[in-house]
Homo-oligomer: A and B are copies of this chain.
């Protein structure tokens, strides 16, 4: 029951020798999701042993090259690797034109179908759902249309307390009904509500991706109570003005969003290439929110499953 995100790139527009542009690989119960796809993503996936063909959904935040230019090589390589399954790509409507242009020049022989899903939201909306995860998207505050993505593990079926089964000598049919949400009506007419009969076997986990964006209270609302908040931190305090001008955040502002959102952990990334020492990012964010870590290529942030005992 894995729930983890592997950071593939942490640089902003200008890559450095050891930092790649943005891409995150999310694993929810061995289903793989890619968020953004900067140049070199396919090489990074290979390096960190994440099989390209297992990714069926790619979410693109916005149409700046450092979040996107790895898509063409990835699409091409997926075909060479024999992909047959549909690939779902989510993003701004112009991304559909860009993909169609790519197919016109390079993808006429692709053996798989690309299904494009336009993202155009003014508040938070669900854009994907299966039996393990719900993906919501919400607007960020950048120079161009830009979207964040919130991945929430679905709430599991509630388990029945064993002592309830014993106490009331429940039949299999009754157990199934209660697991599906029914209350229990006793012979004397008393009704025991479902929530007293059952418990949540584990707490659903969540991860939010917020880049690129200037500081925004609304972002904190959209990702309320998230377990892992990835928030960009392109600059440190001294370049706060530049952050505002370019539609980016400082590490301190990322920390503030994490605090307002009541996040459990904050991961920083999208660092400007002008910095050599990243400890200042950590320090400034920590002054707002203690549970912060720097993103790093190849680093996996795993949320362990917390099971509740009967």
A residues in contact (CB < 8 Å) with B: 13-17, 20-21, 39-40, 42-43, 46-47, 63-66, 69-70, 72-73, 76-77, 80-81, 94, 97-98, 101, 105-106
Q: Given the complex, which residues of B lie within 8 Å of A98, measured CB to CB?
A: 101, 105
| Top 9 A-B pairs, shortest CB-CB distance | A39-B73, A65-B76, A69-B73, A101-B101, A69-B72, A40-B40, A65-B106, A17-B47, A15-B43
- With A40-B39, A105-B98 known as contacts, the answer to whether A77 contacts B46 (CB < 8 A) is no
Bound form: Cα–Cα A16–B98 in Å? 26
Query: Which secondary structure dominates chain A's binding surface?
Result: helix
Instruction: Find out whether the CB atom of A77 lies under 8 angstroms from the CB atom of B20.
Output: no
Q: Given the complex, which residues of B lie within 8 Å of A39, measured CB to CB?
A: 39-40, 42-43, 70, 72-73
Q: Given the complex, which residues of B lie within 8 Å of A81, measured CB to CB?
A: 14
Instruction: Find out whether the CB atom of B69 lies under 8 angstroms from the CB atom of A65.
Output: no
Closest to A64 in B: B106
Can you sample 8 A-B contacts with CB below 8 Å? Answer: A15-B46, A15-B77, A39-B40, A39-B42, A39-B72, A65-B106, A69-B76, A94-B105
Bound form: Cα–Cα A77–B13 in Å? 8
Q: Given the complex, which residues of B lie within 8 Å of A42, measured CB to CB?
A: 15, 39
Q: Given the complex, which residues of B lie within 8 Å of A65, measured CB to CB?
A: 72-73, 76, 106
Bound form: Cα–Cα A43–B17 in Å? 7
Bound form: Cα–Cα A293–B234 in Å? 43
Q: Name A106's contact: one of B15, B40, B63, B76 (CB within 8 Å).
A: B63
Instruction: Find out whether the CB atom of A105 lies under 8 angstroms from the CB atom of B63.
Output: yes
Q: Given the complex, which residues of B lie within 8 Å of A64, measured CB to CB?
A: 106
Bound form: Cα–Cα A69–B14 in Å? 17
Bound form: Cα–Cα A66–B77 in Å? 9
